[in-house]
């Protein structure tokens, strides 16, 4: 381009008389109005549409901020810029200033999530890990602060650029909030609405410090390992179910497991023991009228006294449970309600002892092989 072409271009750009921004995208947050040497004509019109704010920057300093409307750019409408430049009696030549248009509409459905599991301490389950994800919505509440602190000299700033910063901030504050909430672990997934509101209140001031308003914050899901879920469900059933019903449930499960493990000595012994118990229970449920004449005749005889079964007490989470029979205790062991270290007590014992140290209960551990049955 020859020198006359450059002069023509300079004069054309120098005398721009309309400063505006037509936003055709949904992801642009801030856009710098470009023109030759940042010069704006004296008396030019500034058009700021709804959902926009215009910010004037002079030599790195915030000069003026304009909300939606149409303005004639004179010293009357640029009081701060006029003070910075020392215009006492107006200006008649083009002036230099950077103009940024900021999109102030609501940015919705922005995603967030915890990149790594959050470790929490629960009174019943010890150290546990959870993950969470959801959405949030924000808008620019202080355009001048946002341009100075976040945008800088970027000529086209998008929500993708700010989202990485915001998601890191959210993940950090979410971790702090759930850690300080000290809720039982199962309540995090059941109280997402209350937890969402609390997190938004905690995060809002940090968003405001850079000119951003956190309008909405949602926790859509709180997940945890599958084995932890099973433990929580089991614990909740123990709280809700009657101990007798729970024992019968565990017994049925133990028999099913023993039947599948036909080659296991401990499983076979437990299966036999549970079979005897169920047989006795079912036999007691049958009335003489339901049997054969021979059975009815037998039912009429006076049976010998029933042997007295040893009753055991056991401890779960520091709480005494029982009494239960030997077979019921065996079923609780098979269902992992108790383990080899669980404390047990029966009449005649001076103190509580670990299950593994009680002689007749060592058969639960599968280490002893019973002698052969006597010949009939």
Q: Could you tell me which residues are beta bridge partners of residue 178?
A: none
- How would residue 289 be classed by pLDDT, with cut points 50, 70 and 90? very low
- How would residue 272 be classed by pLDDT, with cut points 50, 70 and 90? very low
pLDDT surpassing 80 at residue 245: no
**Beta strand segments in the chain, E:** 18-19, 28-33, 39-40, 45-48, 52-58, 61-66, 69-72, 95-96, 98-103, 107-113, 118-122, 126-140, 156-158, 212-223, 312-316, 319-324, 343-346, 353-354
Averaged pLDDT for residues 74-96? 72
Of 82-91, 108-117, 312-321, the poorest mean pLDDT is in 82-91
Instruction: Write phi, then psi, for 13 (nearest 5 degrees).
Output: -75, -30
Pairing of strands 126-140, 212-223: antiparallel
Rounded to the nearest 5 degrees, what angle is found at the Cα of 183, between the Cα atoms of 221 and 177? 70
High-pLDDT (> 90) share of the chain, %: 20
Domains parsed from the chain with CATH numbers? 3-103 (no CATH), 107-225 (3.30.479.30), 241-281+310-365 (no CATH)
Instruction: Write phi, then psi, for 194 (nearest 5 degrees).
Output: -65, -40
**For residues 101 and 56, is the Cβ–Cβ distance under 8 A?**
no
Tens-digit pLDDT profile for residues 205-220: 999 999 999 999 999 8
Averaged pLDDT for residues 297-317? 74
Token digits of residue 51: 């959902």
pLDDT surpassing 80 at residue 356: yes
Tens-digit pLDDT profile for residues 166-203: 888 898 888 888 878 777 777 777 778 888 998 999 99
25 or 351, greater pLDDT: 351
Long-range contacts of 173-182 (CB under 8 A, 24+ apart): 173/199, 173/202, 173/203, 173/206, 174/114, 174/118, 174/132, 174/199, 175/114, 175/118, 176/202, 177/202, 178/118, 178/120, 178/130, 178/132, 179/118, 179/120
Q: Is the dihedral of CA 237, 241, 244, 249 positive or negative?
A: negative
Of 71-80, 98-107, 201-210, the poorest mean pLDDT is in 71-80
Token digits of residue 72: 């004639």
Tens-digit pLDDT profile for residues 16-32: 578 899 876 778 999 98
267 or 251, greater pLDDT: 251
Instruction: Write phi, then psi, for 193 (nearest 5 degrees).
Output: -65, -50
CA distance linking residue 350 with residue 363, whole number of Å: 22
**For residues 203 and 169, is the Cβ–Cβ distance under 8 A?**
yes
Give residue for tokens 């083009």.
94
**For residues 51 and 77, is the Cβ–Cβ distance under 8 A?**
no
DSSP 304: P
DSSP codes, 341-365? T-EEEETT-SS-EEGGGSGGGGGGG
Q: Is 319 left (phi over 0), alpha (psi -120 to 50) or beta?
A: beta
pLDDT surpassing 50 at residue 7: no
Q: Is the peptide bond before 323 cis (omega within 30 degrees of 0)?
A: yes
Instruction: Write phi, then psi, for 35 (nearest 5 degrees).
Output: -160, 170
């Amino acid at each position: 381009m020859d020198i006359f072409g450059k002069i023509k271009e300079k004069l054309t750009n120098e005398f721009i008389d309309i400063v505006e921004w037509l936003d055709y995208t949904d992801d642009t947050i801030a856009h710098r109005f470009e023109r030759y040497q940042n010069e704006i004509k004296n008396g030019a019109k500034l058009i700021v549409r709804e959902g926009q704010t215009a910010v004037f920057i002079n030599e790195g300093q915030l000069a003026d901020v304009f909300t939606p409307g149409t303005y004639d750019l004179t010293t009357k409408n640029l009081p701060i810029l006029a003070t910075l430049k020392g215009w006492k009696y107006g200006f008649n030549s083009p002036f230099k200033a950077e103009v940024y248009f900021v999109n102030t509409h609501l940015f919705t459905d922005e995603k967030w999530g915890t990149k790594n599991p959050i470790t929490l301490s629960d009174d019943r389950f010890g150290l546990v890990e959870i993950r969470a994800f959801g959405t949030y919505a924000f808008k620019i509440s202080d355009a001048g602060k946002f341009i100075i602190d976040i945008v800088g000299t970027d000529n086209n700033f998008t929500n993708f650029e700010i989202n990485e910063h915001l998601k890191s901030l959210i993940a950090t504050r979410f971790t702090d909030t759930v850690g300080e909430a000290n809720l039982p672990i199962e309540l995090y997934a059941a109280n997402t609405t209350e937890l969402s509101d609390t997190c938004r209140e905690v995060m809002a001031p940090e968003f405001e410090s850079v000119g951003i308003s956190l309008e909405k914050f949602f926790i859509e899901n709180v997940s945890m390992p599958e084995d932890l879920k099973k433990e929580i469900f089991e614990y909740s059933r123990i709280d809700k179910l009657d101990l007798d019903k729970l024992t019968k449930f565990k017994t049925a499960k133990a028999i099913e497991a023993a039947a599948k493990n036909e080659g296991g000595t401990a499983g076979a012994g437990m299966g036999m023991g549970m079979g005897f118990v169920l047989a006795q229970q079912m036999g007691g449920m049958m009335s003489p009228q339901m049997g054969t004449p021979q059975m009815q005749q037998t039912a009429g005889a006076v049976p010998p006294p029933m042997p007295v079964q040893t009753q055991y007490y056991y401890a779960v989470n520091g709480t005494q449970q029982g009494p239960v029979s030997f077979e019921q205790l065996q079923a609780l062991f098979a269902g992992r309600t108790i383990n080899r270290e669980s404390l047990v007590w029966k009449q005649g014992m001076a103190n509580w002892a670990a299950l593994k140290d009680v002689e007749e209960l060592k058969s639960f551990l599968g280490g002893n092989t019973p002698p052969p049955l006597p010949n009939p």
